[in-house]
Amino acid sequence: MTDSKKQTASKTPSHIAYHVRNREGSEGFWTRIGSAWLHADGNGFNIQIETVLWMDASHSASPLKKLINQNRGGFNGSPLIPKGAFTMAASTINPFYATNRNPVPVGRPVYARLPFAPKNASPVPHLTSLYHFHQAGEYGDRNYPGNCGGRLIRDLLRFFHSQSVFDPMTGSGTCADVCREMGIPCLSRDIRQGFDATDADCFRSLPAGLEFDFIWAHPPYWRQKIYTPDSRDLSQTPTLATFLERYAAFIGNCAGVLSTGGKLAILMGDYCDRETGFVSLTYHTKQLAIAAGLRQSCTDIIRFSHGASSSRKIYRSSFIPGLHDVCMVFEKA
Ligand X SMILES: C[S@@+](CC[C@H](N)C(=O)[O-])C[C@H]1O[C@@H](n2cnc3c(N)ncnc32)[C@H](O)[C@@H]1O
**Contact residues: ligand X, CB under 6 A:** 140, 144, 146-148, 168-169, 171-172, 174, 190-192, 195-198, 218-220, 227-228, 232-235
> Shortest gap between Cβ of 139 and ligand X (angstroms)?
8
CB nearer ligand X, residue 81 or residue 248: 248
> Shortest gap between Cβ of 250 and ligand X (angstroms)?
7
> Shortest gap between Cβ of 284 and ligand X (angstroms)?
16
CB nearer ligand X, residue 107 or residue 168: 168
CB nearer ligand X, residue 91 or residue 174: 174
> Shortest gap between Cβ of 170 and ligand X (angstroms)?
6
CB nearer ligand X, residue 149 or residue 262: 149
Cβ-Cβ contacts under 8 Å for 150 (sequence gap 6 or more)? 136, 137, 138, 139, 140, 174, 175, 177, 178
> Shortest gap between Cβ of 296 and ligand X (angstroms)?
21
Name the phi and psi angles at 118, rounded to 5.
Answer: -65, 145
> Shortest gap between Cβ of 267 and ligand X (angstroms)?
7
DSSP β-ladder status, 294-296 and 324-332 = antiparallel
Q: Strand, coil or helix: what is 327?
A: strand
CB nearer ligand X, residue 68 or residue 289: 289
Of 184, 263, 254, nearest in space to 219 by CA: 254
Number of Cβ within 10 Å of residue 44's Cβ equals 18
Which residue in the shown chain puts its C-beta closest to ligand X? 171
> Shortest gap between Cβ of 151 and ligand X (angstroms)?
12
CB nearer ligand X, residue 90 or residue 268: 268
Contacts of 10-15 spanning 24+ positions with Cβ under 8 A: 10/37, 12/70, 13/37, 13/48, 13/70, 14/38, 14/45, 14/69, 14/70, 14/71, 15/45, 15/67, 15/68, 15/69, 15/70, 15/80
CB nearer ligand X, residue 197 or residue 288: 197
> Shortest gap between Cβ of 268 and ligand X (angstroms)?
9
Q: Strand, coil or helix: what is 281?
A: helix
DSSP-assigned states of every residue in 142-204: TTSTT---SHHHHHHHHHHT---EEETT-TTTHHHHHHHHHT--EEE--GGGT--TT-HHHHH
The number of angstroms, rounded, from the C-alpha of 82 to the middle of its chain's C-alpha atoms is: 29
Q: How far apart are CA 124 and CA 242, in angstroms?
A: 38
> Shortest gap between Cβ of 228 and ligand X (angstroms)?
5
CB nearer ligand X, residue 91 or residue 237: 237
CB nearer ligand X, residue 60 or residue 237: 237
CB 103 within 8 A of CB 60: no
DSSP-assigned states of every residue in 299-326: --EEEE-TT-GGGG---SS------EEE
CA diameter of the chain: 83
